[in-house]
Structures are given as C-alpha cells and as structure tokens.
C-alpha cells in the first residue's frame, strides 16, 4: 500500500533538506508553487508542510513565508563523545564559559559517585557550554585532585576529554548515564538564561577509565531548543 500523497511530499522535502538543496535559513516555495510542482491540492501541501513544522524542520514567519530551520545538535547517549567533539562534528561552533573552578572536600554523594573517601579533595567546576554563542548546557563536574593535580582553568575552557586522553595519556572506557526531566532552581535557570518553568533535561554521568578507576561525576542540564537526544536500537 502506497503512502498518502502528503507523506510522499513531506519525504521529498525532508530529503531536500538533508542533502542541502534546501539549506538552513532558506525560504520554501509558496504553497501555490508547491501545488504546481507536485500537482496536488493546497490542502495536501499544507498537511505536508505542517508535518515538517511539527518535526521542527520548518518554521513559519507571519507575512514572510516558511523557512528551513537549522538542525538541532544531537546528543547520542550511546556513543561517548565530549561536547566539543559532538557539536563540532555537526557543523556548529562550541565554546565554554567557566562559572566556578574550586577545590572542595567532597560530601557523601560525590564521594560515592567517585568511589573516594568522604572529605577527599576534588575539583568542583561549573561550565556553561554554548553552541554558536547560545548557552545550551550547564555542566557541573567533579574530578579527583589525586588523578589530575595539574588541572587548569585553561584545560576546562576547551575539551575535558582531550585533556584526560591527550595531555594525561589516560584511556576513557565508558560513561554511565541516567537521564530525567528536571525543574530548575532559580540559580541554574539564570545561568542558562531560562525561566524556571521551561523544560530541561538532566543527565548524570559517571566516567570510568580503562583501568576501572572512576575519573569524573558530572551533572548536565540540557536546554532543548538546540539539542535533541537520539537513540538507535538494534535487534
């Protein structure tokens, strides 16, 4: 059984967006022009375009037309990549702003996550991660001082994973992640330039080296306006 015509048209437009024929920010032909191109009714064209709006691929601007939306950066929880690597691979520009860089004595929660003793010195680092200069992820990372005695603010302004693997020569094995929705407190909402009622995704991750040593505990707060979470399930 063949697909309804509006779905076929939607598939064609999606393909044009994917291959760059319709680039981000470009305006789509008018409904009348699309009617003639596909030889269908205006209702069919509107259904196809609404489907792409619902998929967050198009947006309408009153009095101007319908435009191709810039794709969201994708976070693949099944592949361990750093923020810089992940965002750069998708053609966007990552950057970081250090909010705090402190040495603290870890509490029971952090000690349990890092598998260290309560009161052991750890770094407590809050970073605002940006995509094309727009704040997107607030990251609160805890790292054992014993593993990284020479860690600097400069290293944390770029790629944490590059520092660990290239500078320190350590091999990262895995990251155990848990994901849940979260209601923001005022401090975190202000740092992300959000309202407290806005949706947020919280990802807690615990990183392990090849040796089995835990090297980090990080809490990420992801905004959802430029980020999507994608999973691939294999059978």
CB of 144 within 8 A of CB of 122? yes
Q: Is 235 contained in some domain?
A: no
Among candidate residues 25, 40, 68, the one where a domain is terminated = 68
- Closest residue by Cα to residue 107 from 142, 76, 140, 135: 142
List of residues 6+ apart from 136 with CB closer than 8 A: 73, 129, 130, 222, 223, 225, 226, 227
Note whether 27 and 134 are same-domain residues: no
At residue 79, the pLDDT reads: 43
Note whether 104 and 50 are same-domain residues: no
Put simply, whether the predicted model's pTM sits higher than 0.85 gets the answer no
CB of 186 within 8 A of CB of 196? yes
At residue 191, the pLDDT reads: 87
**Other residues' Cβ atoms within 10 Å of the Cβ of residue 101:** 16
Strands (E), 23-165: 58-61, 65-68, 73-76, 94-105, 121-131, 134-144
Mean pLDDT of 200-224: 91
CB of 28 within 8 A of CB of 65? yes
Note whether 34 and 86 are same-domain residues: no
Q: Is a pLDDT exceeding 60 seen at residue 17?
A: yes
Domains identified in the chain, total number:
2
Q: Is a pLDDT exceeding 50 seen at residue 78?
A: no
Q: Is a pLDDT exceeding 90 seen at residue 108?
A: yes
Lowest mean per-residue pLDDT among 68-72, 95-99, 135-139, 175-179: 68-72
Range of the domain at 33: 5-68
Higher model confidence: residue 110 or residue 180?
Answer: 110
Mean pLDDT of 32-56: 89
Q: Is a pLDDT exceeding 80 seen at residue 233?
A: no
Reported as type and span, the H/E element at residue 208 is strand 201-209
Note whether 43 and 81 are same-domain residues: no
Highest mean pLDDT among 86-100, 174-188, 201-215, 219-233: 201-215
Q: Is 11 contained in some domain?
A: yes
Highest mean pLDDT among 29-43, 44-58, 193-207: 29-43
Q: Is a pLDDT exceeding 90 seen at residue 43?
A: yes
């Amino acid at each position: 059984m063949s697909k309804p015509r509006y779905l076929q048209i939607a598939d064609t437009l999606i393909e044009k967006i994917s291959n760059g024929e319709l680039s981000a920010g470009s305006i789509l032909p008018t409904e009348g022009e699309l009617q003639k191109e596909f030889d269908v009714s205006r209702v069919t064209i509107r259904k196809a375009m609404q489907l792409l709006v619902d998929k967050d691929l198009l947006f309408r601007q009153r009095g101007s037309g319908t435009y191709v939306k810039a794709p969201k950066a994708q976070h693949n929880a099944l592949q361990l990549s750093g923020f810089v690597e992940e965002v750069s691979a998708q053609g966007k520009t990552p950057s970081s702003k250090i909010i705090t860089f402190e040495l603290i004595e870890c509490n029971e929660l952090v000690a349990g996550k890092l598998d260290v003793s309560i009161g052991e010195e750890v770094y407590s680092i809050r970073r605002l991660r940006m995509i094309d200069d727009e704040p997107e992820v607030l990251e609160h990372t805890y790292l054992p001082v014993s593993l990284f005695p020479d860690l600097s603010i400069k290293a944390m302004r770029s790629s944490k994973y590059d520092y660990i693997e290239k500078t320190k020569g350590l091999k990262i094995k895995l990251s155990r992640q848990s994901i849940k929705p979260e209601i923001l407190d005022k401090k975190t909402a202000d740092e992300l330039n959000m309202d407290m009622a806005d949706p947020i995704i919280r990802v807690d991750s615990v990183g392990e080296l090849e040796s089995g040593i835990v090297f980090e505990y990080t809490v990420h707060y992801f905004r959802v306006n430029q980020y999507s979470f994608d999973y691939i399930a294999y059978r």
